[in-house]
Amino acid sequence: MKINPVIEAQELASSEEVVIVDCRFDLADPEAGWRAYCESHIPGARYLHLNRDLSAPVGEHGGRHPLPAPEDFIQTLAAIGIGPDTTVVAYDASRFAFAARLWWMLRSLGYRPPRLLNGGYQAWLDAGHEIESGEGPGRPAALAPAAQAFRQVCAKEHIAALQADGALLVDSREAPRYRGEMEPIDPVAGHIPGAVNHPWQGVTDDQGRLRDAEGLRAHLGDTLQSEQLVVYCGSGVTACVNLFALSCLGRDDPILYAGSWSDWCSYM
């Protein structure tokens, strides 16, 4: 039986033997998520920081959130009690923007994919469940054999060949950024030639709850018919929300361009 990719607050409250990961983050204030976690979080939840834990240091190329070395990430996971077969639930307060990054990274390494808390942290609060504050101890897990690399990921040098073979690029950023009308983060505006636009926010409703299958199909439209998809965003983070939606519809084959637009435009 296929496991529901999202979990409701009530089900999570009664779950046992699960590692909960708080992924809250703010691109404009990188420590805001950590402060919010220390102030209040779901009891027992551990925190993973987008910049420090879910990314490697930024270089000249590779984008604003390059993937960490697999062996380093495995150590990070083990320190908070996550091994390959651990049941994990991830949440954020940004419509899956950061929790989906963890979902993709675990799945890409062959770990059991996390379930995402439907509606995020606000759904937990709205349900009236208990919260706690401060930082708790981790639960070390047995280390898995180091993976050689993240799977279903590509770099800039692969894009041309993938497109030549018929792959369709999906830009997950907001439409004005895709059209090059504005660019609040990266030094160059625009999009990769040939890409279509499906903003990642279309995966959820205004309360951060996953749309039903009909809504997800409407969000992705004819793109679903493409034999090969390569998904990107600004830095390989919110693209994972679209990848999560595609997986919910049975498409587990799309590739993440990890460096995304921030890597692409670094060569311009």
Active site residues: 233
Residue 112 has phi, psi (to 5 degrees) of -65, 125
| Cα 215 from Cα 218, distance rounded (Å) | 5
| Cα 115 from Cα 108, distance rounded (Å) | 15
Residues 6+ apart with CB under 8 A from 36: 24, 93
Of 93, 88, 92, 113, which is closest to residue 103 (Cα–Cα)? 113
C-alpha separations of 162 from 116, 157, 210, 265 in Å: 30, 10, 30, 18
Count helices and strands (H / E) in the chain: 10, 10
Of 121, 60, 50, 115, which is closest to residue 89 (Cα–Cα)? 115
Q: 3-state DSSP call for residue 220?
A: helix
